[in-house]
Amino acid sequence: MKNIIRENNRRHNELREISFDLNFINNAEGSCLVKFGNTHVVCTATVDDRVPMFLRGKGSGWVTAEYGMLPRSTNTRMQREVSKGGLGGRTQEIQRLIGRSLRSVIDLKLLRERQIIIDCDVINADGGTRTAAITGGYIALYLACKKLLEDRIISKMPITSMISAVSCGIVDGVHLLDLDYFEDSSAEVDANFILTNDNKIIEIQATAEQKSYTQEDFLRMLELARVGTNQLFELQKQALGI
């Protein structure tokens, strides 16, 4: 395998330093400051007694997500989306992905007519904000569900399995796990994997940025993603004390 030197001498199959700072925002029903290296995302879970219009009277709950970036989370200041007059395509794609992923590991019926909103706000961005958001969003969601259970508002834990997410890519011909911004910018292929702790797949997005890739390339990235998410599941368990 060709060699590539990564920041902090990371190996090709090594995650960045990961941390979860639980209950970072006191007001929220669940919250977490998740760090994947220099990518820092504040994730909060809000329990809301109203469900979206299409679910009213159906006896089922909902999980949705919103995603934002502070203007100076990036190296060059970004304009606020409110100033641009609406949510950009990238923001909408990411928040739809976070919501869809988290909904796939929760039994919405157990929530009854109740919505949990996961807000993921990027404080520092250095690549992989969406995978950090999903991984930390899971923590916030778990905490909020636990609170609902402890407050006897729901009678059974609705979360059905653990979920975490990580990016992989091909940079200069080398398959890498958990790309930072610099690596991501020069990647030929960029992929995001959202996996469960029972070895299942929730979502795969794998995009040729500069040139097409082969099935073999794909399978090597999937393997790296398994390595990464297995470590993330351990860290999530430690953080949650489960």
**Which residue ranges are tagged as binding site for phosphate?**
90, 128-130
C-alpha torsion sign, points 199, 205, 208, 212: positive
- The H or E element containing residue 116 is strand 115-124
> Encoding tokens for residue 119?
């807000």
Number of neighbours of residue 215 by Cβ within 10 angstroms? 7
In the window 147-176, what residues touch a copy of itself (CB under 8 A)?
A: 161
Q: Which helix (H) or strand (E) is 19 found in, with range?
A: strand 18-22
CA quadruple 185, 200, 40, 115: dihedral sign: positive
Count of residues in contact with a copy of itself, rule CB under 8 A: 63
CB of 77 to a copy of itself, least distance (A): 4
Which 8-state DSSP code applies to residue 188? S
Site string for a copy of itself, 53-72 (x = CB under 8 A): -------------x-x-xxx
Classify 194 as helix, strand or coil: strand
Q: Which amino acid is at 38?
A: N
Among 56, 96, 109, 237, binds a copy of itself (CB under 8 A): 96
4 binds a copy of itself (CB under 8 A): no
Q: How far is the CB of 3 from a copy of itself (least distance, A)?
A: 25
Nearest-approach distance from CB 162 to a copy of itself, in angstroms: 11
> CB-wise, 11 or 203, nearer to a copy of itself?
203
State yes or no: residue 200 binds a copy of itself (CB under 8 A): yes
Alpha-carbon gap, residue 230 to 134, rounded angstroms: 15
Nearer to a copy of itself, 206 or 240 (CB): 206
Is residue 186 within 8 A of residue 195, CB to CB? The reply is no
Question: Strands 62-69 and 115-124: what pairing?
Answer: parallel
Q: Which residue's CB is nearer to a copy of itself, number 13 or number 104?
A: 104
Of residues 19 through 58, those in contact with a copy of itself by CB under 8 A are 25-28, 31, 38, 42, 44, 46, 48
* Options 100, 146, 147, 220; binder of a copy of itself; rule CB under 8 A: 100
Torsion over CA: 134, 130, 6, 214 (sign): positive
Contact residues for a copy of itself (CB under 8 A)?
25-28, 31, 38, 42, 44, 46, 48, 66, 68, 70-75, 77, 80-83, 85-90, 92-93, 95-96, 100, 104, 117, 119, 121, 123-124, 161, 196, 198-215, 217-218, 222
